[in-house]
């Protein structure tokens, strides 16, 4: 139902608007529905299929019966799941039969088969041959995509979209258009939505390929996990003016909670202001790339410190938020925040006056570790391109926490000079930075056309002091699939920018190429290197585009008399003096035979 205040469409299960917080009128629920809501059936139960089939011939009658079984009282969780399976199957059968109707007629057909007290049916026209059907119940929201081809309707459920907001057809890149002969005929669409219920308003993005010609490949293919980075935090997602990029407005606090950096159960008010981050998903090379905005608040400085402490590969990104002493401390200190998340408290520092405080000192505790930070404000300058200024960390200490997390969460006031025992075993050495067939071509294969293929073997540098993260896509925004030890060998099957596509036990993944010693293997097209002298990376006009810090790994794309053309883990590239780098030494490794 739509909010009478801001017009945002919410789930009928929502008690208040997820955008403005206004209380929403609730439809009366039968007693059996209230009982069922308290049961153990989860949000995804509606998608569970069952092997039991009904014998009713009419799809309308079949759906009416299945909808009635859901609203009835279930004797067990297993029976409830079976009821949802029958409902899901009956609904798809009906959509397959009547999916070619107009949006108005299809909406009317659904209204005739679903009880109005518990269901809301919405039908949206994405394009002349594509519709989205959304079934909103008191239990959850289910979405189905209908593709019309050859005067028939193909139906597929759309997982994790929830409340639909908008959509767009995505264009193919120039490289894809040039190689259209190797790509199935069809179109790619992006669907934007948001989560429903009491767990906050998280933006949802789904990318689907609609194959309009070749039935052997399948009509509707979900590409989301392959082409969309994970989005953390509550907020909104809206299509940009070009109708392909996506503008994100995200809560920094909830982003930290999703990443398990901040504790979601902190009862007392947050002692510092939250911040909204404005990120962008850029559609390029037939995938979305996340362009993240860096913040300027106290909370962002704390977020940066926890991120760098937990994962040294992100130190390059948050380096401007630390003084030199803090940066060196982080480089030799490592710990895992775990799944607990830190509670943020104002720290009372000792001074001449008993109980004296500074509003710029904070303590973070999670029942295992205690982190103390002192922040300071740095005004912006034209040189740093940060005219608004930002908060940075000028003091940082890590110790073992002696209080249980439950006590920390329930503390009624700010801490008063709590003394923690010295931490043992968290000091570490300075770590390295970051991380043709004649058969019909599948969509997944066509997405990899921008990957430069190669067939070789490389070795992760053995001096790296952190685990090597293998990700689902070429960038740090993609989820982690595996973690390998330094010194391990790996088969490289392709490269994308500064990232390598690797094969791990028959499964595909991506890793930053600067971490792999590929010296002596010309098929990779570049060489990895380590920076041993801090220097500037500049563009062709001599303008500084990035900093190369001592110990950082990068890839060398080409070479001239005095400079290397290099690329960093974040995709930034430019020219670096040769005297600042130490190219990889060739390692003799057997060639990998292509399977």
Strands (E), 275-342: 276-284, 287-291
Helix, strand or coil for residue 239? strand
Please tell me what DSSP assigns to residue 498.
T
13 and 82 co-located in one domain: yes
Summarize the confidence of residues 275-301 as an average pLDDT. 92
**In the chain, what is the greatest distance between 2 CA atoms, to the nearest angstrom?**
85
Q: Given pLDDT bands bounded at 50, 70 and 90, which one contains residue 483? A: confident
549 or 276, greater pLDDT: 276
Range of the domain at 473: 451-583
Q: Are residues 124 and 7 in the same domain?
A: yes
541 contact partners, CB below 8 Å, separation of at least 6: none
Mean of pLDDT values over 69-77: 67
For the chain, the C-alpha Rg in angstroms (whole number) is 27
Distance CA 65, CA 86 (A): 9
Between 217 and 544, the more confident residue is 544
- Of the two residues 67 and 391, the one the predictor is more confident about is 391
- Is the Cα dihedral 298, 299, 302, 307 positive or negative? negative
Q: Among 178-182, 306-310, 456-460, which stretch is predicted with the lowest mean pLDDT?
A: 178-182
Query: Residue 505: what pLDDT?
Result: 83
pLDDT band at 40 (very low <50, low <70, confident <90, very high): very low
Query: Which pLDDT score, from 0 to 100, does residue 583 have?
Result: 75
Q: What is the mean pLDDT of residues 73-77?
A: 67
476 and 552 assigned to the same domain: yes
- pLDDT in the model for residue 199: 63
Structure tokens at 25: 């009128």
Q: Would the pLDDT of 12 be above 90?
A: no
Predicted confidence at residue 212, as pLDDT, reads 63
Residue 418 has pLDDT above 70, yes or no: no
Per-residue pLDDT, averaged over 533-555, amounts to 80
- Is 398 or 29 the better-scoring residue by pLDDT? 398
Average pLDDT over residues 192-197: 85
pLDDT of residue 80: 72
Number of domain units in the chain: 3
In which band, very low, low, confident or very high, does the pLDDT at 404 lie, cut at 50, 70 and 90?
A: low
In a domain, 359, yes or no: yes
Rounded CA-CA distance 106/109 in Å is 5
DSSP 343: E
Contact 577, 565 (CB under 8 A): no
546/576 Cα distance (integer angstroms): 10
> Would you say 568 and 316 are in contact if contact means Cβ atoms under 8 Å apart?
yes
* E strand or H helix that includes residue 419: none
Q: How confident is the model at residue 355 (pLDDT cuts 50, 70, 90)?
A: very low
Q: If DSSP states are collapsed to H, E and C, what string results for 100-126?
A: CCCHHHHHHHHHHHCCCCCEEEEEEEE
Q: In this predicted structure, what is the pLDDT of residue 455? A: 80
Same domain, 5 and 132: yes
pLDDT bin (cut points 50, 70, 90) of residue 297 is very high
Contacts of the segment 68-73: beta carbons below 8 A, 24+ positions apart: 68/115, 70/118, 70/137, 71/30, 71/32, 71/33, 71/36, 71/115, 71/118, 72/32, 73/32, 73/35, 73/36
User: Higher model confidence: residue 215 or residue 595?
Assistant: 215
Lowest mean pLDDT among 9-13, 147-151, 206-210, 373-377: 9-13
What is the rounded CA–CA span in Å between residue 530 and residue 523? 20
The answer as to whether 148 is a domain residue is no
Residue 407 pLDDT greater than 80, yes or no: no
Residue 155 placed within a domain: no
pLDDT the model gives residue 282: 94
Decide which of 520 and 374 is more confident: 374
pLDDT, position 495: 80
Give 358's pLDDT tier (boundaries 50, 70, 90): very low
Reply yes or no on whether the pLDDT at 524 is more than 80. Answer: no
Mean pLDDT of the region 244-264: 91
Which of the listed residues 409, 425, 441 is the one where a domain comes to its end? Answer: 409
395 and 506 in a single domain? The answer is: no
CATH code of the domain in which 401 resides: 3.10.450
Tell whether 44 is covered by a domain. yes
With respect to residue 502, please indicate whether it lies within any of the assigned structural domains.
Answer: yes
202 contacts 218 by C-beta, under 8 angstroms: no
Strands across the sheet with 287-291, in order? 235-239, 246-251, 276-284, 287-291
Q: Is residue 355 part of a domain?
A: yes
Q: Which residues contact 350 (CB under 8 A, 6 or more apart)?
A: 356, 417
Highest mean pLDDT among 43-52, 110-119, 311-320, 580-589: 311-320
Domain end (from 354, 375, 409): 409
Which comes out higher in pLDDT, residue 319 or 29? 319
* pLDDT tops 50 at residue 21: yes
Give the integer Cα–Cα distance in Å for 489 and 107: 57
Averaged pLDDT for residues 130-137: 88
* CA dist 362 → 221, 319, 345, 375, 417 (Å): 48, 20, 6, 8, 11
DSSP secondary structure of 246-288: EEEEEEHHHHHHHTTSB-TT--SPPSS---EEEEEEEEETTEE
398 vs 381: CA distance, rounded Å: 31
Q: Is the pLDDT of residue 414 over 70?
A: no
Dihedral sign for Cα 566, 572, 577, 582, please. Answer: negative
Confidence of residue 429 (pLDDT cuts 50, 70, 90): very low
Separation of alpha carbons 410 and 418, rounded Å: 15
The answer to whether residues 463 and 568 belong to one domain is yes
Do residues 475 and 290 lie in contact, with contact meaning Cβ atoms separated by under 8 Å? Answer: yes
**Using CA atoms in the order 326, 331, 335, 340, what is the torsion angle rounded to 10 degrees?**
50
| Torsion sign (Cα): 472, 333, 307, 262 | positive
Residue 520: which pLDDT band, with cuts at 50, 70 and 90? low
Distance CA 313, CA 434 (A): 3
393 and 504, same domain (yes or no)? no
Is 419 among the domain residues? no
Q: What is the CATH number of the domain that holds 460?
A: 2.30.30.40
Find the mean pLDDT for residues 533-539. 83
Q: Are residues 396 and 487 in the same domain?
A: no
Looking at residue 585, its pLDDT comes to 55
**What is the model's pLDDT at position 26?**
62
**347, 272 in Cβ contact below 8 A?**
no
Q: How many CB atoms lie within 10 A of CB 530?
A: 20
Q: Is the per-residue pLDDT at 553 higher than 60?
A: yes
Helix (H/G/I), strand (E/B), else coil: 508: strand
Gap between the Cα atoms of 556 and 568, Å rounded: 9
Mapped onto helix, strand or coil, the DSSP state of residue 128 is: coil
Q: In DSSP terms, which residues pair with 449 in a beta bridge?
A: none
Mean predicted confidence (pLDDT) in 357-386: 76
pTM score = 0.63
Which range among 134-143, 220-229, 352-361, 525-534 has the greatest average pLDDT?
220-229
Average pLDDT over residues 317-342: 82
Whether 191 shows a pLDDT value over 90: the answer reads yes
* Structure tokens, 547: 């900093």
Residue 208 has pLDDT above 50, yes or no: yes
> Could you say which of 106, 139, 172 is where a domain stops?
139
Q: Which of 23-32, 81-90, 274-283, 334-343 has the lowest mean pLDDT?
A: 23-32
User: Where does the pLDDT of residue 392 fall: very low under 50, low under 70, confident under 90, or very high at 90 and above?
Assistant: very high
Split at pLDDT 50, 70, 90, the class of 547 is confident
If asked whether residues 472 and 576 sit together in one domain, one would say: yes
526 compared with 216, residue with greater pLDDT: 526
| Whether residue 403 is found in the same domain as residue 461 | no
Identify the band that residue 557 occupies on the pLDDT scale cut at 50, 70 and 90.
confident
Are 347 and 474 in a shared domain?
no
- Lowest-confidence pick of 184-198, 329-343, 552-566: 329-343
CA 356 to chain centroid: 42
pLDDT > 60? residue 344: yes
Measured CA to CA, the distance from residue 130 to residue 156 in angstroms comes to 11
Which of 420 and 148 is assigned the larger pLDDT? Answer: 148
**Same structural domain, 26 and 129:** yes
**Is 287 contained in some domain?**
no
Strand partners, 333: 427
Mean pLDDT over the full length of the chain:
75
Q: For 432-447, write each residue's pLDDT tens digit.
A: 333 333 343 333 343 4
- The whole-angstrom distance between residue 553's C-alpha and the CA centroid of its chain comes to 24
What is the Cα–Cα distance from 138 to 14, expressed in whole angstroms?
Answer: 9
Residues 72 and 116: beta-carbon distance below 8 Å? no
Q: How far apart (Å, rounded) are the C-alpha atoms in residues 503 and 266? A: 42
Is pLDDT of 174 > 50? Answer: no
Q: Are 68 and 87 in contact (CB under 8 A)?
A: no
- For the segment 83-113, what is each residue's pLDDT rounded down to a tens digit? 778 888 888 898 988 989 999 999 998 888 8
């Amino acid at each position: 139902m739509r909010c009478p205040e801001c017009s945002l469409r919410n789930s009928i299960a929502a008690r208040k608007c997820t955008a403005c917080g206004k209380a929403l009128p609730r439809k009366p629920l039968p007693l059996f529905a209230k009982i069922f809501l308290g049961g153990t059936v989860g949000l995804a139960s509606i998608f569970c299929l069952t092997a039991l089939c009904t014998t009713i011939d009419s799809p309308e009658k079949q759906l009416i019966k299945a909808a009635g079984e859901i609203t009835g009282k279930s004797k067990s969780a297993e029976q409830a799941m079976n009821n949802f399976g029958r409902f899901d199957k009956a609904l798809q059968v009906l959509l397959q039969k009547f999916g070619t109707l107009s949006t108005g007629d299809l909406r009317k057909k659904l209204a005739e088969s679903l009880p109005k007290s518990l269901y809301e049916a919405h039908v949206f026209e994405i394009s002349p041959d594509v519709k989205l059907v959304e079934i909103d119940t008191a239990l959850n929201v289910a979405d189905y995509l209908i593709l019309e081809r050859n005067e028939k309707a193909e139906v597929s459920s759309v997982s994790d979209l929830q409340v639909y907001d908008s959509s767009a057809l995505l264009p193919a890149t120039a490289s894809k258009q040039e190689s259209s002969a190797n790509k199935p005929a069809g179109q790619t669409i992006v669907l934007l939505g948001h989560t429903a219920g009491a767990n906050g308003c998280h933006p949802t993005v789904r990318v689907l390929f609609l194959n309009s010609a070749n039935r052997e490949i399948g009509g509707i293919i979900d590409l989301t996990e392959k082409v969309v980075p994970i989005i953390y935090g509550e907020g909104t997602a809206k299509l940009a003016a070009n109708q392909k990029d996506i503008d994100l407005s995200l809560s920094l606090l909830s982003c930290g909670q999703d990443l398990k950096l901040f504790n979601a159960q902190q009862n007392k008010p947050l002692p510092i202001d939250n911040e909204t981050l404005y990120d962008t998903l850029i559609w390029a090379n037939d995938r979305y790339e996340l362009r993240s905005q860096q913040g300027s608040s106290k909370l962002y400085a704390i977020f940066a410190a926890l991120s760098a402490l937990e994962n040294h590969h992100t130190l390059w990104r948050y380096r401007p938020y630390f003084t030199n002493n803090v940066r060196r401390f982080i480089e030799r200190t490592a710990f895992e925040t775990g799944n607990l998340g830190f509670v943020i408290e104002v720290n009372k520092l000792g001074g001449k006056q008993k109980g004296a405080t500074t509003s710029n000192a904070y303590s973070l505790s999670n029942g295992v570790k205690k982190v103390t930070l002192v922040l300071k404000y740095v005004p912006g300058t034209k040189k740093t391109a940060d005219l608004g200024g930002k908060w940075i960390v000028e003091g940082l200490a890590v110790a073992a926490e002696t209080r249980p997390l439950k006590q920390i969460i329930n503390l009624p006031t700010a801490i008063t000079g709590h003394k923690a025992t010295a931490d043992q075993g968290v000091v570490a050495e300075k770590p390295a930075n970051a991380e043709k067939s004649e058969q019909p071509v599948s969509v997944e294969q066509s997405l990899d056309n921008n990957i430069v293929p190669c067939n070789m073997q490389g070795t992760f540098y053995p001096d790296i002091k952190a685990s090597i993260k293998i990700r689902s896509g070429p960038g740090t925004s993609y989820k982690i699939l595996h973690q390998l030890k330094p010194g391990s060998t790996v088969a490289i099957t392709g490269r994308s920018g500064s990232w390598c596509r690797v094969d791990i036990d028959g499964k595909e993944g991506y890793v930053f190429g600067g971490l792999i010693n590929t010296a002596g293997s010309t098929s990779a097209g570049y060489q990895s290197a380590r920076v041993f002298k801090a220097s500037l990376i500049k563009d062709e006009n001599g303008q500084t585009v990035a900093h190369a810090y001592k110990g950082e790994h990068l890839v060398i794309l080409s070479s001239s008399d005095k400079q290397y053309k290099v690329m960093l883990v974040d995709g930034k590239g430019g020219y670096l003096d040769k005297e600042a780098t130490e190219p990889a030494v060739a390692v003799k490794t057997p060639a990998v035979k292509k399977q």
